[in-house]
Structure 1
Amino acid sequence: MRAWPAPRIPNVAGCSTTPRLYDTATQGMLTAEPGGTARLYVCGITPYDATHIGHANTYLAFDTLQRVWRDAGYRVHYAQNITDIDDPLLERATRDGVHWRDLADEQIELFRQDMASLGIIPPDDYVAVTEVIAEIAEACCILLDKGLAYRVPTADAVGDDLYFDNRAAADASPWQLGDESNLDTDTMLALFGERGGDPERPGKRNPLDPLLWRAARDGEPSWPSRVGEGRPGWHIECSVIALKHLGHDFTVQGGGSDLAFPHHEMSAGHAAALSGQPLARVYSHAGMIAYRGEKMSKSLGNLVLVSALREAGVDAAAIRLALLSHHYRDDWEWTDAQLADAVARLQRWRAAVARPVSGAEPVGADPAYAAPAGTEPATAAVAELRAALADDLDTPRAIAAIDRAIETGVDDTELLVDAVDALLGIRLA
C-alpha cells in the first residue's frame, strides 16, 4: 500500500537524548531505548470516514516520537496497518449504498492527504489487511495447531468461527490477560462488549476470548484458507503485520488509549503465542479528544475533520500546533477558541522570525562580533526544547520554551527555525 510523501526534516546541530515514555503496561516511565534501530508500530485507521482530530492527535504524538529518535541519532523503522476489511466499514458501505472497497479507497486517499498536510512522517511499511489475508489465515492455523485456538459452530455461516484461547495462551507464552492494559476482569468485560467483543457468545471457553477468524456469511467478503472460508478478526491483523515487518519485542506499540483494551492486549497475546516472545517493550497511548461534551468518535458522529478544517482555509500548521499545545496522554476537549489561539501563536512566531533582530550583526562585521544585549542564545532554547520532548513528549513545555525564545529574541534565528521544524514539525520560514 502506498503511503504519503515524507516531509523535509532539517538537520539541527547537537542531538536529543533517548526519550522516556509512560508505559501503560508497567504504569511507569520507561526509556524507549531502540538498541540500534527504533521499531515503532502504530495502529492505523478503519477507512470508513475521514480523518478526525482524534486520529490526528494520535499520529502526531508518534510523529513527535519519531522526530526525537531521529534527532537522537537513531534510525526509525515505522509500520502501520489499514483495517480495510471490518464490520464498521461494511456497515457504512451498506448504509451509503457503495461498494466497501470503493469506500475504503476513497477514505484511505483522504487520510493520505490529511497526513501529508500535517507533516506526519509516513510509515516505512503501510500495510492493508487485505494485502496479508493469507498470512493472517496461516497464523490462525498455527494457533489452532498449537491448541491455542478453537472452533465455535456458527448457525448463519458455512463453517466455524475461530477464537483465541486466552487461558491456554497464558500457559504457553510470556503473556497474561491484563498485562498490557492493567485492567481488572470486570472492567475488561465491560470494555470488551463496548469495543467490538462478544462476551456473551455461546460456545466460547472464556467470555474474553477474541475472534480470530470469522467464517463466511452471505453478503460479506471472504477469502479461502486452510482455516476455512472467511475473513480475519480484528486483533490478529496487527499481530501478523507487526511480527512480519518489525519482529518481536519491538521498541514501541502506539495508538489511542481506547486501543489499550482489547486491541493492544489481544494483539500482544496473539503475537506472544505465535513467537514465544513479547510483542513490544513499551505500550504508549494517546489521550482522547472530546467535542461538545463527548469523546470524539465516528460512532457518535461528533467529528471535527482535518479535511474540513483545511477546506475552510485553516493552515495545517495551526492544526498541528493546537494539538501539540496539549500533552499527548491528556484527555481534553477541542474548541474553536483553542484553534484560534494556535492560529495567533503561529502568526506571532512567524512574524518574529521574519524580521531581523534589532542590532543584529551587519554583513561583513568583525568575526569577534557579539550578539546584542537582550537576545538569548538559540542553543539554550533548542536544548530546552529537546529536554521537554525527551521527557514523555512534553509538547506544552516545548511550546512554552519557544514562546519565551520568540519573546526575548535569539542570537541565531535560523537555528531556532530549523529546530522547531525538525522537532515540532512546524515550518516557520
Structure 2
Amino acid sequence: MKISNGASNNKNKEIGHIASFFSGVARIQGLPSVFLHEVLLDEANTPVAIVIGFDENFVDALFFKENFDLKKPVFRSFESFSIPVSENYTDRIVNGLGNPIDGLGAIQGKISPVFRGAPPIIAREPVVMPLSTGIKIIDTNLPLGRGQRELIVGDRKVGKSTIATDAVLNQKNAEPSVYCIYVICGQKERKLREIISLFKKHNAFLYTAIVSASAGSSFAEQYLAPFVGCAIGEYFRDNGKHALVVYDDLSKHAKSYRDISLLLERAPGREAYPGDIFSLHATLLERAAKVSKGNGGGSLTALPIIETQEGDITSFIPTNLISITDGQIYLEAGLFQKGFLPAVNVGLSVSRVGSQAQPKTLKEVVGGIRLALSQHKELQKLSQLETAVSIEAQKKIRRGDLVLELLKQDKHTNIEWQEQVVLF
C-alpha cells in the first residue's frame, strides 16, 4: 500500500464522518466526489481505508484495521489503492495490503494501481506456449498454456491446493522462467505455515512470492489479497516475463465479500451473494493473458481454486467461475477415497486451450490416452451388466487399467514432460 507525498494537506480536502462501523466495514457521510477504490486518510495523513462503493447518501469503505475512533473524520487522498511492484517480491511474504510480514524490510518498486483493466483483445495473442505442471494426468490430458485461466474445483480435502503447489514447484527449471505468486485467502494460519515449509524445502521461494490474508485477517485484506497478487504478477507480464498466480481460494473470497455486502445492507441475490460478485471475479481473472510481442510478449497465468459441497458444481460460485475461466480441473472425492491420486476426473475436466499448448512430442505420444480412458469407463460399466465381454473389449479394459496406473502420482513428485514422453 503506497500513498505519494503529494496527498498531504487535509485542509483542502472533503471531509467524511463515519455513520456506521462494524468489523472494519463502514458507511461514511460526506466525500461527495470520491471515486471507486480511492484510499481514505486520517488526520495524520495515514491510509486507513479503501472505498468499495457509494450511493447518493453514503460511501462504503473497508478499514484496514478493525478498530478506529468513530468520532474522528476521514479525508480523501485523491489516489487509487496502489502498491510498489518489482522482482523484489520473490522470496517474500506480504499481507493482503501488500505490506511485508516476514520481517525483511520494505519492498521497493514502481508504484502500480492494484485495480486495473484487463489487456484489450488487440494486445493479446493466442495461448500456445506450454505451462508444464509436472503432473502426468494434467500435462497429458488437460495441458495448460501460459496466459490461460484454469479453475481447480472440488470438495474439501481432495488435493486442490496440492495440484496448485505442485504446479508452482514445477516452475523451478522452467524455460523461459516463470515467476509465481501464491495468494492465500481466508485459510487457516496452519495452511500458510505448511506452504512456507513446502516452498522452503524445495527452494521454490527463489521465484515465488506469497500474499497471505488468513481467516483472521481484516475484511479489507481478504477483499484485496487476490488483486494484490494479480498486480504483482502483472509486473512480470508487462515486462516481457511470465508469471503464474494461484488464488487459494476464491470460494472463501466470495464468502468474505458476501459478509461485507450484508453488513453494508446491500440487496442479497442468489445464495445471499451480492449481484456484483460475478463482475468482481471476472475483472480479476480477465487480467490473466498472453500479450503480443508488441506489448512485451509476457504472460500471466491464473489458477483459481474453488471449493464445492458434495461435488455440486452447479451452485452459484462454481458455475460463475466455470463460465469465466478457460476450463476446469475437477477433483472427485470418490476417486480420492479409492486411492487414485491426483483425484482428477478427466471426463468432467477440460482445458479449452487444448493440445495447441502442448509440446509437439508429448502431443504425438499421448493422443489416444483420453479416448482410452473414456472407453475404459464405459466398458467397465458394461462388464458389470454382462457376464460375457468380447476379447476386444477386454483388451481395451486392460489398456485402460494400465493407463490409470501410469497416471497415478504421489504429491510433490513432479515429472518433466520429457520424462512423460518416455513413460507413455
Alignment TM-score, normalising by the size of structure 1: 0.29
Q: Which has the higher contact order (CA 8 A, sep 6+)?
A: 1
The structure richer in helix per residue is: 1
Alignment TM-score, normalising by the size of structure 2: 0.30
The structure richer in strand per residue is: 2
